[in-house]
Structures are given as structure tokens and as C-alpha cells.
Structure 1
């Protein structure tokens, strides 16, 4: 399993439009083979921060989905970024399984 996590910062006045521009990326990722979770969200405390979280079945799934990085408009809006990939060897559930 691979987790991609971190955050980017944008001008606070551009955060909502940046997030709106990410809607199609999130939709595509969640439909992609091997995607277990994908979220790009506004931080609750910092008006400039956008949190990134992705969970994938494998490195191959990440690479198949990610043909390029952010669009030119998104890259231009970023003030800074700190995002990394983590290879996960083991998982322990912290919640009870769904009764479904």
C-alpha cells in the first residue's frame, strides 16, 4: 500500500477556487483502479493550507493514475508544497468492521 500525504499552501483568497478546480481530479482518482481513498481538503485552522491525502493499493496504481502533476494554473497558485509518498508494510484497523 502507498500513502501520499502532505499539504500545499495558496493565497487564502484563492483557496476556494483552487479546491473547486480539483473536483475533477478527485473524481478521476476515486474511479481509478487501485485507489482506496483520495482527498484534497481545506484545512480547518489555516486559511492558506490545503491538505492532501491519497491511499493506493500499490506503487503501480499510483504511477498509472499520475501522468502529470498539477495543472499550470494550480502550480501558479501554489505558494509552497510539502507532499510525500509512504510505502506501508502493515495496517492495523482502529475501527470496528462495517456490519453490512
Structure 2
């Protein structure tokens, strides 16, 4: 059994991608990717896998994904849930723009702002 994922889980590969979809196709995009989100996030080697709507443009959807290693990413990229979602998006959604970056992480540390978050009510503090 895999250990629970938390912010100390080593992430070696990160993808950051955004999709600008035609306004009439936004729900089709959501419907295509939604079924495989929990499946993917639960896969061994997946640290995080999140789609999020842009706060300024409802037709932009961001994907952030983190993987422990290339083998885990390769398993995901050949899994039936991923391939099904990809097919549905490619066949039914007009993607007006897409840009993505792959990052290979050499080191990892806490992502708190300089000076930390004490006094800001973060992590149950008041």
C-alpha cells in the first residue's frame, strides 16, 4: 500500500497546462475530464492531479499535475481513463489555445511565503 500523499511527498515531474476552450464547449470539457480525476489522483506515483477554473476567465481551465517519477507518468499516459478523456476532448471540444510546460524537479522544499504564514490564520491559527 502506498503511503499517504502530503506536501513532503517527493515530486520529480510537474506539468502546468492551461486550456482556453470555446464557451459553448466548456461543459463538454469538464464532463470529459471529470470521470478520471479521482482515478488519476489515486494512482501510485501521482502526487497531485487537479483541474481548476481560471478566476478571471471562465473559459480557461488549468491543469496541475505532479508525479513521483517518469514510470508513474508513463502509466498514467497509457491508462484507459486518460486515453478516454483525451479522445472525448479531442473529438468534442474546440480548444482555442493550449500551452503547457513540463518541469523536472531537482530539489523540493516548503512553498511558504518569506517570513511564513504565522498570524494570517493559516493552518487553524487565529
TM-score past 0.5 threshold: yes
Q: 1:2 aligns with which of 8, 13, 18?
A: 13
Partner of 2:31: helix, strand, or coil?
helix
TM-score (norm 2): 0.67
Secondary structure of the 1:93 match is: coil
Q: How much has 1:28 moved relative to structure 2?
A: 1.5
Q: Which has the higher contact order (CA 8 A, sep 6+)?
A: 1
More strand by share: 1
1:6 Cα deviation after fit: 1.7
Q: Which runs of 5+ in 1 are unaligned?
A: none
CA contact (8 A) 1:33 1:61 kept: yes
**RMSD (Å), alpha carbons:** 2.0
Q: What residue in structure 2 maps to residue 83 of structure 1?
A: 100
Q: 1:72, 1:64 → 2: CA distance?
A: 17
Q: Which of 23, 30, 44 in structure 2 is aligned with 1:33? A: 44
Which residue of the partner structure matches residue 23 of structure 1? Answer: 34
Count of matched residue positions in the alignment of Structure 1 and Structure 2: 97
Please list every run of at least 4 consecutive aligned residues from structure 1 whose deviation after the TM superposition is greater than 3 angstroms. none
Work out which of the residue numbers 83, 87, 91 in structure 2 matches 1:72. 87
